[in-house]
Amino acid sequence: EKLIVVVCGGGNAAHVMSGLSASRENVEVRVLDVFSDEAERWTKTLGDDSIVLTVNHPDGSHDEVRGKPNFITNDASKAVPGANLIVFAVPAFAHESYFEAIKPYVKPNMIIVGMPGQPGFEFQCFSILKDIAPKCCVIVFEGLPWAARITEFGRAITVLSTKDFLNCVVIKGESKIEGDPLKPIQYLLGPHPVATKLHNFLEPTLSTKSIMHPPIMYGAWKDWDGNPLSEKPLFYQGLTEEAAELMSGMSDELLATAKAISLKKPEINLDGVSHIRDWMYQAYGRECSDTSNLLQMLRTNSAYNGLLHPMKEVKPGKFMPDFTFRYLTEDIPFGVVVLKGISELAGVDTPITDKVLAWGQQIIGKEYLVGKSLCGKDVATSRAPQRYGYKSLDDFDPLL
């Protein structure tokens, strides 16, 4: 039987997912792109051609993969009916517009995939899709399977690298899907990455990498005098000791949150929640010339070599930090704020997270935290559980 896949988005992730899915046998691919006039531009640009993926391999060789989506539309009433899988392959700030667009057409037993989900995806999904969400299977990946960059909009993309394994969470709810719901996704992805199942959504959320960028931004810019710099500072190699300590402290607070949840609800398995230091060691130990502590791993990780702070050139050779970049504008409302909300529900104080959040929210002109409580006016546009009316840990039950 034919697999019908809706790929939501129009950026790097959506290009790879739609091209790759369309390259598989017996798959119908519909791209849903609700952003501006992107669907129309993409349709025109691609014409009758296929999307070309240049897939790089670790040994330096590469393959070419071609796939032609059946159609690209901004109209969910054309894309969603009859679909088996709906894959979100867009940045978190755009998820809401896709949930709203697909909502009238979602039917029981559809598989909704966050690729990646990012913290709060589950809260948003269950809140917007309300009664229908528990009848669907919701699968949330911890990251994107690839590092990828569009080389020609609508037509060509380079897959720089592919992960070997990728953690995911499967919320089967009341859905009735024959066999393993991961099977069709794994078919689309191919042999790699291998999708590995965690116990529940709290495990990846409380181990999220969204806590990396905000403390680094804090460390680099909290004492900045407001004057332009003559070069772009190194993001990881220039990391301050204070920033690494804050990152580690935020991670400690997440472990404390996991512990508090386990005490109140021992049935929730949180063995998979890990400290950022341990994750770093496991994921990048071989790439780091010094693994003695988190600071040194971040500074000496060859995969991070040469990465710079996001900066805007205001005059030739003069740079100002770009505070609109996703390191704050995505990782705060769809990261740190969600975590703070979960800690609050668990009754755990988070002084270190609060310190970074209080600085970051002011930089991006938002108010989430008031004192040490998550009750600012902009919680309403974050993905904190409080935004969706969660009052206690029991409200997590339908998502577990």
The contact set with ligand NAI (CB under 6 A) reads 9-13, 33, 35, 38, 90-92, 94, 97, 116, 118, 143-144, 147-148
- Closest CB to ligand NAI among 304 and 390? 304
3-state class (DSSP) for residue 331? coil
Contact call for residues 11 and 42 (beta carbons, < 8 A): no
Two structure tokens written together for 398: 């339908």
Q: How far is the CB of 99 from ligand NAI (least distance, A)?
A: 12
95 is catalytic: no
The CA distance from 372 to 201, in Å, is 25
- Closest CB to ligand NAI among 146 and 390? 146
- Closest CB to ligand NAI among 92 and 171? 92
Contact call for residues 232 and 204 (beta carbons, < 8 A): no
Q: How far is the CB of 271 from ligand NAI (least distance, A)?
A: 25
Contact call for residues 310 and 327 (beta carbons, < 8 A): yes
Alpha carbon of 360 to those of 225, 328, 338, 380: distances in Å?
A: 16, 7, 14, 17
Query: Among the residues of 112-234, which ranges form H helices?
Result: 121-128, 182-189, 202-206, 213-221
Q: How far is the CB of 331 from ligand NAI (least distance, A)?
A: 9
The CA distance from 15 to 99, in Å, is 19
Two structure tokens written together for 50: 């296929």
Q: How far is the CB of 260 from ligand NAI (least distance, A)?
A: 28
- Closest CB to ligand NAI among 203 and 331? 331
Q: Output the residue with the shortest Cβ distance to ligand NAI.
A: 11
The CA distance from 343 to 237, in Å, is 31
- Closest CB to ligand NAI among 92 and 189? 92
Tell me which residue of 21, 27, 32, 5 sits closest to 67, measured CA to CA: 21
Two structure tokens written together for 10: 């129009």
Considering 15, 95, 213, 309, which one is annotated as catalytic?
Answer: 213
Q: What angle is formed at CA 105 by the lines to CA 104 and CA 110, rounded to 5 degrees?
A: 130
Q: How many residues are given for the chain? A: 400
Contact call for residues 51 and 66 (beta carbons, < 8 A): yes
Q: How far is the CB of 127 from ligand NAI (least distance, A)?
A: 19
- Closest CB to ligand NAI among 143 and 360? 143
The CA distance from 1 to 365, in Å, is 50
Q: How far is the CB of 14 from ligand NAI (least distance, A)?
A: 6
Strand residues in the chain grouped as ranges (E): 3-8, 27-32, 51-56, 62-67, 71-73, 85-88, 111-114, 137-141, 146-152, 156-162, 165-171, 194-197, 311-315, 318-321
- Closest CB to ligand NAI among 88 and 218? 88
In the block, residue with structure tokens 């039950």: 397
Please state whether the peptide bond connecting residue 181 to the residue before it is cis, i.e. omega within 30 degrees of 0. Answer: no
Q: How far is the CB of 77 from ligand NAI (least distance, A)?
A: 18
- Closest CB to ligand NAI among 36 and 302? 36
Q: How far is the CB of 12 from ligand NAI (least distance, A)?
A: 3
**Any idea which residues carry the catalytic annotation?**
213
